[in-house]
Amino acid sequence: MTSPSSSVQEARKALGQRLAEIRKTAGFTKRALAQSLGWHESKASRFESGTRAPSERDLRAWCSACGAEGQAEDLISTARGIEGMYVEWRKMERHGLKWAQESVVPLWERTERFRIYSPWLIPGPVQTASYITALLTSIRDRRGLIDDVPAAVKVRVEKQQVVYGNHKFAILLEESVLRYRIGGTDVMAGQLGYLLSVMALPSVSIGIIPQDADRSGLWPVEGFFLYDDELVNVELVSAHLTVVQKHELAMYAKTFSELAELAVYGAAAREIITAAIESLG
């Protein structure tokens, strides 16, 4: 896997390559194009190398000078998507945790196939209200956010209705996730019990990667949500990363498949979860 932080730069480079193709098709050198726009040559170079993000005005001017006005809107849409790829938590949560939960509802509703890998936490679609409350309370306190935890919990619980719809969930958990005591013993016992019950749903597949699995070929990686083949969300310490580059999506899909081969399912998975519940005693 490449570093998640490389995704934005990769996307900017791809946009820069498109700008270079438009310029070359129009027969301009970088210097000639920059002169026609009244720019310093280095500005055009930085756009094409991906080291500087062009504004919407810059993109319209570039396309206009190259006689490619018809491509401007698509380029602007691409640029907006890039800017939305890496969003700091403080920006995403500036209106509170409830708003942050609501912001992803449309994505959840339109996704047909969820592939989720978590090395740290029970993931959102199969969390109990008590587990959610413990998590969001911790986030509120750590990040100094406004106190709208009850409202945020309500939104997240409502989002979970997708588990009972026409959506498919393939969830992979590292066994260690079952042992982290989020919210204390009672909260974890309830959460693990719920995990056992949700495994019976036809729309949900839960695999547990045992702690003693042979990891010679693939060690634990960052947790991620793969929504259909549309995008990947990765939660970093400081930010929320959205991956949309096709070759990166393919890497996450391949990694998910490889991790899935390490996991156990059905009775073997239930046995591991049950052992985790008994260890709480």
pLDDT tens per residue across span 72-98: 988 887 787 777 666 655 666 666 777
- Token duo for residue 242: 């959205």
Mean pLDDT of 207-225: 94
pLDDT the model gives residue 4: 44
Neighbours of 84 (CB within 10 A): 12
pLDDT, tens digit, 9 for 90 and up, residues 132-156: 999 999 888 887 888 888 998 898 8
pLDDT category of residue 7 using cuts at 50, 70 and 90: low
Mean pLDDT of 237-242: 71
Tell me: pLDDT of 5 over 60: no
- Token duo for residue 142: 């750590």
Cα–Cα distance measured from residue 61 to residue 42, given in angstroms and rounded to the nearest whole number: 16
**pLDDT > 70 fraction of the chain, expressed in percent and rounded:** 92
pLDDT category of residue 202 using cuts at 50, 70 and 90: very high
pLDDT the model gives residue 119: 96
pLDDT the model gives residue 111: 93
| Residue from 97, 195, 179 nearest 146 by CA | 97
pLDDT the model gives residue 156: 86
Cα–Cα distance measured from residue 235 to residue 242, given in angstroms and rounded to the nearest whole number: 9
Higher pLDDT pick, 93 / 220:
220
pLDDT the model gives residue 155: 87
pLDDT the model gives residue 92: 62
Positive or negative: CA dihedral 6, 7, 13, 17: positive
pLDDT the model gives residue 36: 94
Mean pLDDT of 202-209: 96
Cα–Cα distance measured from residue 20 to residue 29, given in angstroms and rounded to the nearest whole number: 9
pLDDT category of residue 108 using cuts at 50, 70 and 90: confident
pTM: 0.74
pLDDT the model gives residue 78: 79
- What's the mean pLDDT when you consider all of the chain? 89
